[in-house]
Amino acid sequence: MNVSSYGLLAFAVIFGGGMLGLLLGKVLHDRYRDDTTQRIVQTTTTMISLLAALVLGLLIADAKTRFDTSNRQIENVAADLMSLNRDLIKYGPEANSTISLLREYIAARIAETWPQEIRHEPGLPDPPAWQLLENIQQKLLSLAPQSESQRLIVTRALKTTDDLTMTGWLQTAQAANDIPHPFIFVLMSWLCVLFISFGLFATRNAVVVVALLACALSIGSAVALIVDMDHPFEGTIVVSAQPMQEALVRISAP
């Protein structure tokens, strides 16, 4: 189920609950409309609304944290790549082939993370980014430093590639750690019950329907936003590829 589907489902469930409440209120016997009954219903729904608001806020905060973490990781990766490029340039002409591999790695990383940003010609069997990174490490290990400064550059470059490898596998692990979607469905059920109670004792007129519609749209948008930000590299709101593209431009420049 995609992001828009979650938003539409949340809207349908919540607004449908409000309309169901209005229909039930129309056929509800007058003996169930006394002040005591309304106070009990309002008290219980207040507890549900507080719980739902708390859970919704926590889900938004968790999704935003995931998005911000992924954004910082990409910025750090881009900075590491540009720093690695400068180190290889300082090393000398012997590292030119490694710089070419580094350029290929960045292009492959962009293509894998943001497929819409780069178009490959059909049938090109490009190696995956992780394999290119391993090739870079092998190239670095095969270098024969002739001075202390070159040895320091190789050591620093290997440390940078280790960090890049760790970040890549960390992002792969994070991609599999979604917000539990059954939890979102439970939240929708709470909100549906809440809106049923709203409609149960409400006056049936156009203003009430519009108010329920606006609230259901707002909450449905919030649910869609949660699911969207929970997948930082997919959907409508995605982590920008600009840092990686900037790194590729700088390394490709003569």
Q: What is the DSSP string of the chain?
A: --HHHHHHHHHHHHHHHHHHHHHHHHH--GGG-SHHHHHHHHHHHHHHHHHHHHHHHHHHHHHHHHHHHHHHHHHHHHHHHHHHHHHHHHH-GGGHHHHHHHHHHHHHHHHHH-TTT--PPTT--PPPHHHHHHHHHHHHHH----SHHHHHHHHHHHHHHHHHHHHHHHHHHHHT----HHHHHHHHHHHHHHHHHHHHSS--SHHHHHHHHHHHHHHHHHHHHHHHHTSTTSSSS---SHHHHHHHHHHH--
Query: What pLDDT, on a 0 to 100 scale, did the predictor assign at position 122?
Result: 43
Cβ atoms of 111 and 100 within 8 Å: the answer is no
Query: What pLDDT, on a 0 to 100 scale, did the predictor assign at position 75?
Result: 94
Overall size of the chain counted in residues: 254
Within 10 Å of residue 239's Cβ, how many Cβ atoms? 21
Query: What pLDDT, on a 0 to 100 scale, did the predictor assign at position 118?
Result: 58
Query: What pLDDT, on a 0 to 100 scale, did the predictor assign at position 27?
Result: 84
Query: What pLDDT, on a 0 to 100 scale, did the predictor assign at position 68?
Result: 93
Rounded to 5 degrees, φ, ψ at 126 are -65, 140
Cβ atoms of 9 and 188 within 8 Å: the answer is yes
Q: What is the pLDDT along the chain (254 residues), one digit of tens a residue?
A: 666 788 899 999 999 999 999 998 888 877 777 888 888 888 998 999 999 999 888 888 988 998 999 999 999 999 999 999 999 999 999 999 999 999 999 999 998 888 866 554 444 447 888 899 999 999 999 989 999 999 999 999 999 999 999 998 888 887 766 777 778 888 899 999 999 998 888 888 999 999 999 999 999 999 888 888 888 888 788 899 999 999 999 887 65
If DSSP codes are grouped into helix, strand and coil, which group holds residue 40?
A: helix
Query: What pLDDT, on a 0 to 100 scale, did the predictor assign at position 121?
Result: 44
CA dihedral over 210, 215, 216, 220, signed as positive or negative: positive
Which residue in 49, 25, 23, 22 sits closest to 37, CA to CA? 25
Digit-coded pLDDT (tens) for 72-129: 999 999 999 999 999 999 999 999 999 999 999 999 999 888 886 655 444 444 788 8
Please tell me the pTM assigned to this model. Answer: 0.81
Query: What pLDDT, on a 0 to 100 scale, did the predictor assign at position 155?
Result: 94
The C-alpha atoms of residue 107 and residue 130 are separated, in whole angstroms, by 12
Q: How many CA atoms lie within 13 A of 64 on its CB side?
A: 8
